[in-house]
Chain A
Amino acid sequence: MTRNRPVISSVRCLAAVFVSLTVLACLNLFGCGLHEKRHESEPVELDSLGEQPIEPLPLTVDFDVAQAALGEILFAEPRLSGDSKVACTDCHHAEHGWADDQPHSRVVGRPESPVNVPTMYNVRFLYKLSWGGKYESLEAHIDALMTNPKVMASSWEIATQHLSELSSYRQLFAAVFRDGLTPSNLRQAILDYERSLVTPNAPFDRYLRGNAQAVSPEAKQGYALFKSYGCASCHQGMAIGGNVFERLGVLRNFFDDRGHFDNADLGRFNITKREQDRFVFRVPSLRNVALTAPYFHDGSAATLEDAVTTMASYQLGRELSEPDRSAVVAFLRSLTGEYRGNSL
């Protein structure tokens, strides 16, 4: 029933959401409609591609719909922060693929973020989070951000306290959770929402599933180049990255050329303190990459073209011709999926 509803991310829609939440909670109580299931049939072409470094995202994922709907409201709720001023959506913008369009996020009352804020889409498929791979799970990540004085400067208890002052929240939680508004239920709702942020059915995924017409010939050409240039050495798997750490600047020194250097550039070294991890970052997922400019940990690449050029140069030691680069960018644009049935 929420399947075809447009994205709701504003507190203004609270009343409408409340009604649907109540219905969902009732369904939940009666043990039906617990998990959202997506089933879309795709024409399967005979010329299968064979084993590929990239796999399509699953069409169906499990999460609690009512809790995720509540989490969606909470995601935009500044009362989660210690000073009731900062919401998750202040850095994660829905219109920018749940990333920030600024190289470094600027939020009132908070220091500038040291790195570019990455997308929230498909985080459930990542096994380590943050640029340095600091967090092993979504739980560890969100717990750290809640208490981080530079981010939310709060705690689940403080946020619960703030929310409990509003009767609408008490009612919402009571409708979704048996024990109503509690710190752990608050956390669970947000986690369920994070896990619901999945973008299946990208044109390239449809291509991988056998629909030869799903992507343009240029994008197919781009994919071939993506593999032959060696991009797929790191950007592979279901998330097209996100499962390996790599040094930024393998064949050329990225930071020397950039001209300045700060602590965030140390990457994984900041977490492991191992010399070999200096300038090493988690290879980011390229899913919905067209939506999440600017690029890299420092947000130094404003466009996809810039990012592709930089990567080819510093990681692979290659200069790309203009047609080749366009083809790779066309391929990258075919990685933008659908959220709640709508193309992003």
Chain B
Amino acid sequence: MNESGVLRASLAIAAAVFLALLAYSALHALDYGEEEAYSRDLRRVQAATAELNERVLKSRSALLSQYDPLVHALRDLHALHERLKRVPEFLGRSAALDMRARLRDSEAQLQQKDELVEDFKTQNSVLQNSLHYFPILANSVIDRARVTPAGATVASRIQALISAIMLFDTAADTESTSRVQSAQVDLSNAKQAAQELQLNHELELNHELELILAHSQIILERKPLTDGLVKQILAVPLPRIALALEEAYSLHYRSATDRALILRQILFGLASITIVLGLTDVILRLRRSALALELATGELRQANAALAREREKERQLGELKTRFVSMTSHEFRTPLSVIVSSTDLLENYSDRWDAERRSDHLERIRSAAGSMDRMLDDILLIGRAEAGVLRASPAQLNLDEFCRNLVESLEHSSGRSHSIRYSFSGDPQVTLDERLLSEVVGNLLSNALKYSPTGSQVDFDVDANDEQCKFAVEDRGIGIPEADIPRLFVSFFRAGNANQIKGSGLGLAVVQKALDVQNGTIEVQSRLGQGTKFVVLVPRDLGPLAASKSSSNEL
């Protein structure tokens, strides 16, 4: 079936697409653990950056005594970037490319920050040392220098430098810078003057004064440098990029979940289609097989019925044959035994018998032979009719005359044991088969005589109207049991109450066959013990359309 082929092909396609999409969605499924870890890492970029910035500021303010926290913060940031490069599969290829591009940007910034922090540490180490040591050193030199009047000048110069450095440390601008520079020059000059007085050697101050100047110079140079580095470190737009990264990720995440949702809907649709197609296929198959079963059952039933009919026919045929054989053997034996016994008697006693007795036996022989002849005629007629070769040969006929002759011949042959009341009406000129008609009417009349008591009257009414001839034969005899009426016209059938009366059972069968070929009909009305009436209708003019209708289908 083409229809089911299309159905099954689309079912296979739907199932295949469904399975392929299912596999795809399973491969690109959202791993919640991975997603959670990834978005946590994304958030941590900002936090780690803030942590790093805080530690840089603490370092600058001497609140942190080691650089390990800075190194760790940077290492965390690098590790975060490495981890973030492994974008969850679920986001899809283009999202991963976008994320990686942003991460490269972020990494470049981180690298820059890394280098700035490296420089900061280098500068800050020295600066912090000087900031810590300069006041201690300067104050100790002041204490030592103050003991001499010449040293007092140096001490005041150092004091001025301390003030200038303190101001510079608080607010490093051009004014405070130039103040430090002039204080440095003043101290240098004082140092020079003191050296000429051999003061330094005496107090061993020369090296310390140089160190004071060196540390002040370090502070003067490195403080703006370090502060500049801190500013640059804080200015690296890592948090902004991280925020953008996070926003981009959530956008990608949303579109990925949207895609997953659509995919799920498609999967659901495909699953539904597959199920519907599958069910339809199953239903169609079931229906087809039910139909085939029904068809087969019908055929089987018909075959069974045909077989039963066939068997019934065969049975009837067999029955008929059996009946025919038993009937004929019986019906033929009777006249034959008459012929044989009369012939024997004539042979042995003819010379001793008188003429009257001899002729009586000869008459018996003739009558028996005639009876056999009639029976043979009947059987042959039925046989011809059943073989389909019985034909009506219609000819011009005076019906009234035909019937009257028939009545007279019957009255004669029965020895006038019954009175036959005959009437005719209508136009006696008809075109009918005289021999077949005589079979019909003769048999009906002789039956009427045979099955009614001697002396009773038989009514024979013939009416020939424009279309058909109607023959009605009514006796006042034994009648026919109602149950026997349907089989009345079957060969060799005899009514149950007719057993005492001699008969072959062929008469009415002959009537039926003879009527069949003349397109005639016969009806019977009978009341048991009161009489029987047969009404025969035959078309008045058989003409050339000689009845060809076979009686074989009647049997």
Contact = CB atoms under 8 A, between A and B. Distances in A.
Contacts of A250: 126, 218
Nearest to A231: B129
B75 A54 contact: no
B125 interface: yes
B494 interface: no
B126 A246 contact: yes
Interface stretch (B60-68, B287-295, B455-463, B541-549): B60-68
Contacts of A217: none
A70 B426 CA distance: 144
Interface stretch (A90-98, A186-194, A203-211, A233-241): A233-241
A184 interface: no
A79 interface: no
Which of B121, B129, B214 gathers the greatest number of chain A CB atoms within 10 Å?
B129
A158 interface: no
A222 B125 CA distance: 20
Contacts of A247: 122
A243 B71 contact: yes
Given A127-B71, A233-B129, A317-B214, A55 B66 contact: yes
Interface string B65-107: 1111011000100000000000000000000000000000000
A251 interface: yes
Contacts of B207: 319
Contacts of B218: 250
Nearest to A245: B122
Interface string A312-325: 00001111000000
A237 B126 contact: no
A145 interface: no
Which of A233, A236, A237 gathers the greatest number of chain B CB atoms within 10 Å?
A233
Interface residues of A, number: 26
B118 interface: yes
A14 interface: no
B416 interface: no
Given A53-B66, A127-B75, A251-B214, A230 B119 contact: no
Given A127-B75, A244-B121, A245-B121, A238 B126 contact: no
Interface in B203-259: 207, 211, 214-215, 218
A51 interface: yes
B122 A280 contact: yes
B101 to A, nearest CB: 23
B119 A276 contact: yes
A4 interface: no
B122 A244 contact: yes
B208 to A, nearest CB: 10
A243 B211 contact: no
A55 B72 CA distance: 14
B128 interface: yes
Interface string A243-259: 11111001100000000
A318 B215 CA distance: 12
Contacts of B70: 243
A232 interface: yes
Given A244-B122, A247-B122, A280-B122, A53 B65 contact: yes
B62 to A, nearest CB: 10
A52 interface: yes
Interface in A193-225: none
A243 B68 contact: yes
Contact of B68 (A51, A237, A245, A251): A237
Contacts of A318: 211
A54 B65 CA distance: 8
B211 A232 contact: no
A229 to B, nearest CB: 8
A230 B66 contact: no
A230 B131 CA distance: 10
Contacts of B126: 233, 246, 250
Nearest to B122: A245
B24 interface: no
A237 B75 CA distance: 15
A294 B280 CA distance: 91
B110 to A, nearest CB: 13
Contacts of B67: 236-237, 243-244
Nearest to B128: A233
Interface in A32-73: 51-55
Nearest to A244: B121
A250 B126 CA distance: 8
B132 interface: yes
A233 B125 CA distance: 5
Contacts of B214: 251, 317
Given A250-B126, A317-B211, A236 B66 contact: yes
A236 B65 contact: yes
B68 A238 contact: yes
A311 to B, nearest CB: 12
B66 A316 contact: no
Given A276-B119, A317-B214, A55 B68 contact: yes
B326 to A, nearest CB: 108
A280 B118 CA distance: 12
Given A51-B65, A55-B66, A244 B125 contact: yes
A205 B211 CA distance: 34
B133 interface: yes
A247 to B, nearest CB: 7
A266 to B, nearest CB: 15
B129 A316 contact: yes
B455 to A, nearest CB: 134
Which of B67, B70, B128 gathers the greatest number of chain A CB atoms within 10 Å?
B67
Contact of A251 (B75, B118, B211): B211
Contacts of B122: 244-247, 280
Contacts of B129: 230, 233, 316
Contacts of A245: 118, 121-122
Interface string B154-189: 000000000000000000000000000000000000
Contacts of B68: 55, 236-238, 243
Which of B68, B121, B214 gathers the greatest number of chain A CB atoms within 10 Å?
B68
A132 to B, nearest CB: 12
Contacts of A55: 66, 68
A283 B108 CA distance: 26
A234 B128 CA distance: 10
Contacts of A251: 211, 214
Interface string B503-515: 0000000000000
Interface string A76-120: 000000000000000000000000000000000000000000000
Which of B121, B215, B218 gathers the greatest number of chain A CB atoms within 10 Å?
B121
B125 A52 contact: no
Nearest to A234: B125
Given A280-B122, A317-B214, A232 B71 contact: no
Nearest to B115: A272
B132 A230 contact: yes
A39 B555 CA distance: 122
Nearest to A52: B65
Given A233-B128, A245-B121, A245-B122, 12 more contacts: A51-B65, A55-B66, A55-B68, A233-B129, A237-B66, A243-B68, A244-B67, A246-B125, A250-B126, A276-B119, A316-B133, A319-B207
Interface of B: 65-68, 70-71, 75, 118-119, 121-122, 125-126, 128-129, 132-133, 207, 211, 214-215, 218
21 contacts: A53-B66, A54-B66, A230-B132, A230-B133, A232-B65, A233-B129, A236-B68, A237-B67, A237-B68, A243-B71, A243-B121, A244-B121, A245-B118, A245-B121, A250-B218, A251-B214, A276-B119, A280-B122, A316-B133, A317-B214, A318-B211
Those 7 A-B pairs whose CB atoms lie nearest each other, nearest first: A236-B66, A237-B68, A230-B129, A53-B65, A233-B129, A244-B121, A237-B66
